[in-house]
């Protein structure tokens, strides 16, 4: 059987590309501004749809979520691939080595789930669990549930890892180092999830995903961990 894994030289080249992408802090700030602009526009459209057309709040929310995820990819593409003429591999879409997958996927998922379990225990102990529930889609039928699962397990991991790890983290790393870039990208990742009560666990999971991306040189590892984590959370929501 042929060994399809990249050579050590190829892996070193990937790490070099990850450490020094052609975009930097200025492009990251512009992309954040573009993303915020698109987000604000989406909020206005949602308000108009709900007020003018009496649209179902859950359905509109799901549509807005999908649009917001696409906006993240558009912002990352605009200030990396479009501006600098690079390929998608510059954003981390590189082959994931088997030996990297063997440690990154179980380690990333285990740490992320541990964070979630500890967080759930804390908020339940404090009586705050009702403040973080987001399962209204369960009341809207099978179609809404299918869309919610698709967004959580497929769309969100692809879009959010592309923007927060592939673009923001990589773009800041050359200037601020791993720790500074991971903190900034994870903080932005947490804020993007809107609910202040979830900032701490989402920030921690974001940091884990940055660590996985930096360690493997492939965004695939972070996407798979993110997708598996969201899939487990959705399965628990649907089962309760």
Task: Select the highest-mean-pLDDT range: 98-112, 143-157, 187-201.
Answer: 98-112
Asked, for residue 1, whether it belongs to a domain, the answer is no
Please report whether residue 199 resides in a domain: yes
Asked whether residue 4 is domain-assigned, the answer is no
Axis crossing angle, helix 98-126 with helix 199-216, rounded to the nearest 10:
170
Nearest-angstrom CA–CA distance, 170 and 24: 8
Q: Please name the residues in contact with 45: beta carbons below 8 A apart, sequence gap of 6 or more.
A: 64
pLDDT (tens digit per residue) in 5-15: 455 665 565 56
The CA angle 224-225-231, to the nearest 5 degrees, is 85
Range of the domain at 69: 11-239
- Number of folded domains in the chain? 1
2 inside domain: no
Could you read off the pLDDT of 24-36 as tens digits, one per residue?
999 999 999 988 8
In a domain, residue 108? The reply is yes
Answer whether residue 167 is part of any domain: yes
Higher pLDDT, 182 or 56: 182
Residue corresponding to tokens 């959705």? 234
| Cβ atoms of residues 190 and 169 within 8 Å | no
What confidence tens digit (pLDDT) does each residue in 163-212 have? 999 999 999 998 999 999 999 999 999 999 888 888 999 999 999 999 99
The SS3 assignment for 94 reads coil
Mapped onto helix, strand or coil, the DSSP state of residue 134 is: coil
The whole-angstrom separation of Cα 136 and Cα 221 is 30
User: Considering the entire predicted model, what is its pTM?
Assistant: 0.88
Question: First CA to last CA across the chain, in angstroms?
Answer: 45
């Amino acid at each position: 059987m042929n060994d399809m894994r990249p050579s050590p030289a190829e892996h070193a080249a990937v790490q070099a590309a990850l450490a020094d992408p052609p975009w930097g802090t200025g492009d990251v700030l512009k992309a954040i501004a573009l993303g915020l602009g698109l987000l604000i526009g989406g909020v206005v459209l949602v308000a108009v749809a709900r007020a003018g057309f009496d649209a179902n709040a859950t359905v509109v929310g799901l549509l807005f979520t999908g649009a917001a995820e696409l906006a993240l990819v558009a912002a990352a593409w605009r200030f990396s691939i479009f501006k600098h003429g690079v390929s998608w591999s510059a954003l981390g879409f590189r082959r994931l080595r088997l030996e990297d997958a063997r440690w990154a996927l179980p380690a990333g998922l285990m740490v992320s789930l541990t964070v979630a379990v500890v967080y759930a225990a804390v908020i339940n102990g404090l009586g705050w669990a009702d403040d973080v529930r987001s399962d209204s889609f369960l009341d809207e039928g099978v179609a809404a549930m299918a869309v919610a699962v698709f967004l959580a397990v497929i769309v969100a991991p692809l879009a959010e890892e592309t923007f927060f790890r592939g673009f923001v983290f990589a773009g800041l790393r050359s200037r601020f180092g791993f720790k500074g870039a991971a903190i900034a990208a994870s903080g932005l990742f947490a804020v993007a999830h809107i609910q202040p009560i979830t900032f701490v666990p989402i920030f921690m999971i974001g940091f884990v995903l940055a660590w996985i991306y930096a360690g493997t040189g492939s965004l695939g590892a972070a996407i798979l961990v993110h997708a598996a984590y969201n899939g487990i959370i959705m399965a628990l929501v649907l089962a309760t």
